[in-house]
Chain A
Amino acid sequence: MSDELDEALSALLAQSLDAWRLTGEINRQGDAALLIVAGDKRVRIARAPAGLPFRWAVADGERTRGATSVVGVLRHVRAALDPSHRSVRLRIAPLPPVSS
């Protein structure tokens, strides 16, 4: 994990807890993974092992899910910490012809 991405992801997760109105802490572990502790929930975020089609591994209890980007990490973290949230998927409108 690059220092820049490391810090940016940590900052994003901290801001996300605030934006989602959750109380919690983000700690860095010895293997450079991030551990979020929010109430009785713990989510661990680490680089995915080499050879897998993911960049990230997000562990919530006994379940580990892969993510291909920080946006995917954020999706899994929110699903774990804020299960009442109902996310919607981005929808791009059909491309209209450009008017003259």
Chain B
Amino acid sequence: MIPVGVLTGFLGSGKTTLLGRLLRHPDFARTAVIINEFGEVGLDHDLVAVSQESFIELHTGCLCCAVRGDLALTLEDLLARRDAGTVTPFERVVIETSGLADPAPILHALMSDGGLAARLALAGVVATIDAVNGLATLERHPESVKQVAVADRLILTKTDLAQAQSADLLVRLATLNPSAIRLQASFGDIDPACLFDTGHPASLHAGNAPTWLGFDAHAHAPKPSHDAQVSCFAILRNEPLSAVSLTLFLEALAEHCGGDLLRLKGIVNIAESPDRPAVIHGVQHVFHPPAWLDGWPSADRRSRLVFIGRQIRQRWIEALILAIEAEVAEVATLAA
């Protein structure tokens, strides 16, 4: 499996600077890069040092709204060229999104294309946030909120310029996505090992699952304001959930929340598999199949679900689970 990292962030937030630094690091020497540029004249490719043969630049517009198919075709072409030996046998792919991109359709393309999913594994989403303008950007541009909401890593850039604003920005980021690990990068300088190492449920095990889930981080997150469009909340369940209940629950979530469910991550105690918890991960209505951990990370065997969504009610989620479980229990009783 070839890991694919998605680098997102609003216009001017430092994505290309970060990418340029990453590509100069020996660990990223065999990296194929896809840069999506908004507009007809590409500029970003002039700003990063990368070999021409492994460089794909899309000129068809913003990835988020028009070129999902193109992204899949581009990746297929890249893999074919790798197989044919006409490009360097790259060991990872990084997709830098347009600053105006909603990353969710990009993640859908990576998750739901059968041909790609057999060879490529999502290795995490990194979002850059400009410490100077980030707070205002989050207020004015919903795209930037979604970029933050779906990220595994939040990289605060230009911190040397904005100490006073950074505190408020950090609170806002913790409200939007408390489970994401927050790092700082000055002029793109960051340890590459801190990026693109998580995000795909298949790479999880009992040791790293709690960090990926970020449930503890959520417990300490600031409470969102009542008028917050995007908020994060967690649900904890003591009782195991049956497999059919989980299926029905995800089905209802997709139907009724759809695009408003920006991300759901969870570790679930499945009644039929008490010793091997299931990891679930979804972006909007598209979910990875559950990945089964080899064991519980700790003695705590409660199910933990972390939601990031737009105007999704925690009480509705809780009521939905209770109703589904009550029906499944009734059916089981009748069958017995």
Residue of A nearest to B288 (CB): A93
| Interface CB pairs A-B, < 8 A, 6 | A70-B248, A88-B284, A92-B286, A94-B112, A94-B117, A96-B202
Partner pick for A99 among B121, B285, B319, CB 8 A cutoff: B121
Q: Is B330 an interface residue (CB 8 A)?
A: yes
Binding site of B, secondary structure by majority: helix, strand, loop or mixed? helix
Partner pick for B112 among A70, A75, A93, CB 8 A cutoff: A93
**B118 contacts which chain A residues (CB < 8 A)?**
94, 96-97
Among A59-100, those with CB < 8 Å from B are 69-71, 74-75, 78, 85-99
On whether the beta carbons of B255 and A88 are closer than 8 Å, the reply is yes
Q: Is A16 an interface residue (CB 8 A)?
A: yes
On whether the beta carbons of B316 and A90 are closer than 8 Å, the reply is no
Bound Cα distance A13, B265 (Å): 25
Residue of A nearest to B247 (CB): A90
Q: Is B28 an interface residue (CB 8 A)?
A: no
Q: Is A11 an interface residue (CB 8 A)?
A: yes
Partner pick for A87 among B117, B258, B326, CB 8 A cutoff: B258
**B284 contacts which chain A residues (CB < 8 A)?**
88
Q: Is B271 an interface residue (CB 8 A)?
A: no
Bound Cα distance A98, B80 (Å): 22
**B312 contacts which chain A residues (CB < 8 A)?**
19
Bound Cα distance A14, B117 (Å): 40
Assuming A93-B289, A96-B121, A97-B202, is B327 touching A70 (CB within 8 A)? yes
On whether the beta carbons of A8 and B319 are closer than 8 Å, the reply is yes
Given contacts A87-B256, A90-B251, A94-B118, 8 further A-B contacts (CB under 8 A): A19-B312, A70-B323, A71-B255, A78-B256, A86-B258, A89-B255, A91-B286, A94-B117
Classify chain B: how many residues form its interface, as a range: 35 or more
**B258 contacts which chain A residues (CB < 8 A)?**
86-88
Binding site for B on A (CB under 8 A): 2, 4-5, 8-9, 11-12, 14-16, 18-19, 55, 69-71, 74-75, 78, 85-99
On whether the beta carbons of B324 and A71 are closer than 8 Å, the reply is yes
Bound Cα distance A74, B252 (Å): 8
Residue of A nearest to B287 (CB): A92
On whether the beta carbons of A15 and B200 are closer than 8 Å, the reply is no
On whether the beta carbons of A71 and B316 are closer than 8 Å, the reply is no
Bound Cα distance A65, B147 (Å): 40
Among A75, A88, A90, A91, residue most surrounded by chain B Cβ atoms (within 10 Å): A90
Determine how close the nearest CB of chain B comes to the CB of A24; give it in whole angstroms: 15
Bound Cα distance A40, B236 (Å): 38
Determine how close the nearest CB of chain A comes to the CB of B189; give it in whole angstroms: 29
**B291 contacts which chain A residues (CB < 8 A)?**
98
